[in-house]
């Protein structure tokens, strides 16, 4: 709970700092902006014998971006959010629900398209700290499996597409794919990048709404 309280405090601090920066930079082209996001996650864990993005979670975040180019189209995005990942394994042998709640910090380079910069494409990484893990096996809490997940998901790759319908409201979709093993022990597993990097990896699709200031 201390971690969650700290995350909430940082969210408010980030929001306040961003609004202050906006106020100070109203007469400048190089402004910070503020965006809030929330929506659903469609998740799976590669390497745990599950699939089909059949675990539903949530995400919520606040973030800012600042220009990297004089035309204001290339921007660097920094966010702080809470996101629920995991998977559901449902076969003849086992019924297991894995819920992993992370505090994450997406860091991305973005480019804004169209005349009013309504369309944004971004890519980067989203380091995350595990705030809570809860695994149930055949309907009962499974403490051994709950303790099997690492404190850090250090290198999830993130690709984002956002479209603003108005200056305030928009819709976005993101793809996340962990590049480093998230589990301590693996009965089975797959690998990323190289074969020694074997284990379990979060993979998810996010879809949600955005509120821009």
Q: What is the pLDDT of residues 188-208, one digit of tens each?
A: 789 998 888 999 999 999 999
CA-based nearest residue to 11, from 99, 80, 90, 105: 80
What is the Cα–Cα distance from 156 to 143, expressed in whole angstroms?
25
Q: State pTM to two decimals.
A: 0.85
pLDDT in tens, 101-136: 999 999 999 999 998 899 999 999 999 999 999 999
Other Cβ atoms less than 10 A from the Cβ of 32: the count is 20
CA-based nearest residue to 82, from 212, 208, 213: 208
CA-based nearest residue to 204, from 101, 122, 90: 101
């Amino acid at each position: 709970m201390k971690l969650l309280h700290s995350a909430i405090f940082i969210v408010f601090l980030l929001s306040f700092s961003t609004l202050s920066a906006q106020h100070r930079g109203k007469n400048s082209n190089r402004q910070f902006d503020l965006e809030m996001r929330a929506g659903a996650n469609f998740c799976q864990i590669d390497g745990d014998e599950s699939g089909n993005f059949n675990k539903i979670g949530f995400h919520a975040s606040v973030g800012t971006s600042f220009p990297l180019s004089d035309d204001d189209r290339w921007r660097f995005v920094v966010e702080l959010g809470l996101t629920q990942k995991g998977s559901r394994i449902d076969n003849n042998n086992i019924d297991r629900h894995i819920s992993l709640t992370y505090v994450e910090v997406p860091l991305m380079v973005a480019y804004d398209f169209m005349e009013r910069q309504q369309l944004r494409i971004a890519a980067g990484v989203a380091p995350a700290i595990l705030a809570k893990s809860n695994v149930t096996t055949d309907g009962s809490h499974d403490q051994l499996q709950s303790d099997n997940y690492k404190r850090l998901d250090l290198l999830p790759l993130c690709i984002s597409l956002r479209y603003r319908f108005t200056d305030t409201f928009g819709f976005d979709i993101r793809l996340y794919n962990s590049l480093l093993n998230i589990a301590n022990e693996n009965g089975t597993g797959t690998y990323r990048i190289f074969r020694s990097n074997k284990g379990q990896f979060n993979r998810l699709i996010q879809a949600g709404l955005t509120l821009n200031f």
